[in-house]
Structure formats: structure tokens, C-alpha cells
Structure 1
Amino acid sequence: MYAALWRALPGPWPLKLVITLVLVAAVFLLLMEVVFPWVTTLMPYNDVAV
């Protein structure tokens, strides 16, 4: 799967590496800023009573 994605990217390998790093950073940022905070509100461990 990763080989097919690597072949689909344009340019020589240094450009492919830069594009891949940018995509990984974008996915990481999306997860940290949008997905994980949304999932946290759905988790049951937020309603703790001592």
C-alpha cells in the first residue's frame, strides 16, 4: 500500500519525501486539533464521582 502511494506522488524522491512529511504533519495536526478532542467528549471516564 505504501509503495503504491509513493509511486503516485509526483517528482523525484526528495520531493516525494517532503510531500510525505507535510502530509504526515497535516494528519497529525488534524487528529490533535479536531478528532481527539471530539472523541474525548464521548468517552465515559469524564463523569467521575469520588
Structure 2
Amino acid sequence: MYSWIWRHLPGPLPLRLLLAAVLIVGVVALLLFVVFPWIEPMLPFNQVTTGQ
């Protein structure tokens, strides 16, 4: 999959590296700001009881 993405990025090596970095930052931002907040209420980690 990564080789497919790399082959389809346009331009010379420096531009490809820049575009790959932008793609990585975009995916991380999407996960941190959209996916993780959406799925967090469904996880059981907030239902912790300590003591009585």
C-alpha cells in the first residue's frame, strides 16, 4: 500500500517527501481530532470505580 502511494505522488524526491509528510500529518490530525473523540465514549475506560 505504501509503495502504491509513493508511486502516485507527483514530482521529484524532495516534493514527494514533503507530500508524504503532509499526508502523514493529515492522517494523524484526522485521528486525533475526529476519530478518537468520536470513539472515546464507546470505550470502557471511563467506567472505572475505585472503592465503594
In the alignment, the residues of structure 1 paired with residue 2 and residue 37 of structure 2 have an alpha-carbon distance, to the nearest angstrom, of: 28
Gaps of 5+ in 1: none
In structure 2, what is the equivalent of residue 20 of structure 1? Answer: 20
Deviation readout 1:1-39 (Å, 9 max, x if unpaired): 222211111101110100000010011011011111111
Moved over 2 A (4+): none
Aligned counterpart, 1:45? 45
Compute the TM-score of the two structures, normalised by the length of structure 2: 0.82
Cα root mean square deviation, aligned: 1.1
Identity %: 48
* Structure with greater Cα Rg: 2
Q: Which consecutive unaligned segments of at least 5 residues does structure 2 have?
A: none
Amino acid in the other structure paired with 2:45: Y
Code of the residue aligned with 2:47 in structure 1: it is D
| TM-score normalised according to structure 1 size | 0.84
Partner of 2:30: 30
